[in-house]
Structure 1
Amino acid sequence: MRSEAIRYLIVPGWQGSSDEHWQSHWQRRLPDSARVEQADWMAPRLGDWVAELARSIASDPRPTILVAHSLGCITVAHWAARAPAELLRRVRGALLVAPADVQRSNCPPALQNFAPIERQLLPFPSQLIGSDNDAAASAARALELAADWGSEAVILSGAGHINVTSGHRYWAQGFVYLYRLQSRIEQHARQRA
């Protein structure tokens, strides 16, 4: 990581991430960061969202770390299952925060076209952060997704959906998990060298 410039690509979830959302704060703080801008944040379509993520990754040749939230995590999993090797190699890792279980019984209809969730291992290191009281995915479901994707998992206590509503505006604690992920990426690169 120290020898190459890393781009941080913010991957928001349903309804986007407002200026007060931790993803927006992180985008302003992290050097070389950009955001995936979906055409329709309110009525997401799986094909459109995956295509836009692919375009955003392809638009910059630098190695990238994805910073995804909620439906953005599910978009990353779908993209990784379909992406060509050339683009997969650009992604060094992914921080997957509060993934939305689009297969749950009370899933909003607007999100159901993202089901079923891809279950294959992600081809890059990933860190999944869930919560024991997230209405979008139970702790057990978050751990199941982490196992499917090969992600290191952390379940926070009482963190909700890890968004503005649950009190996570700056979410400074999240940088600990980003740095942990970056350490894993460095170890992964050394092992492959």
Structure 2
Amino acid sequence: MSLDNKAGYGQARSSQAGRPSGLIGWAVGLYLRWRNADLNAAAIDALVPFPGDRVLEIGFGPGEALRRLAAVKGIGKIAGIDHSPTMLAMAEQCNRPAITRGAMELRLAGIDAVPFAERSFDAVLAVDCVQYWPDLISHLAVVRRLLRPGGRALFGLRGAERQGPESTPKCLSPAALSQALAAAGFVQVTIERVETRPTPSTLILARRPI
């Protein structure tokens, strides 16, 4: 494969990772369900949902973290947004029982047009997606406004799996995200490295000021 072809493949791979679509997108969703299983589990453990908490997941992908959230005893309303119709369909299929009983609400939307009011949530979760946000600080400020005072936001970042023209060009370091969170008005930013497959990942927790 030539360098030009490798670069084109990398761009296509990045596009499907950021916004899966069609039959290929469905396959990507199945892969993400496997690849992010450990990270989703670690993220929910670190988020520590309290009884009655209203939780929003941004970029829920195939819906695995939502399914895990729905299993937390006593959790309040769960909501989620994703800008991929393919991922919305997968997540709805995965979480039909919770949706049917009114415990979960999923919307087709992106971070640039969140369909929820300010201070609607006690916690916001975003796993393996913040690196695709085009205006990071502004969009993190959106997350802050969605939280009640003292509310917490948890971000999961995957470690780099490959280098070279065929790798995903979207990359965000934990340090860069921490700095952006501070610039967006968050406080008490902490970083935790977690062991996940196929490579280690990082969890970044931050709070909206009281």
For normalisation by structure 1, the TM-score amounts to 0.44
Q: Which has the higher strand share?
A: 2
For normalisation by structure 2, the TM-score amounts to 0.42
Between structure 1 and structure 2, the one with the greater Rg is 2
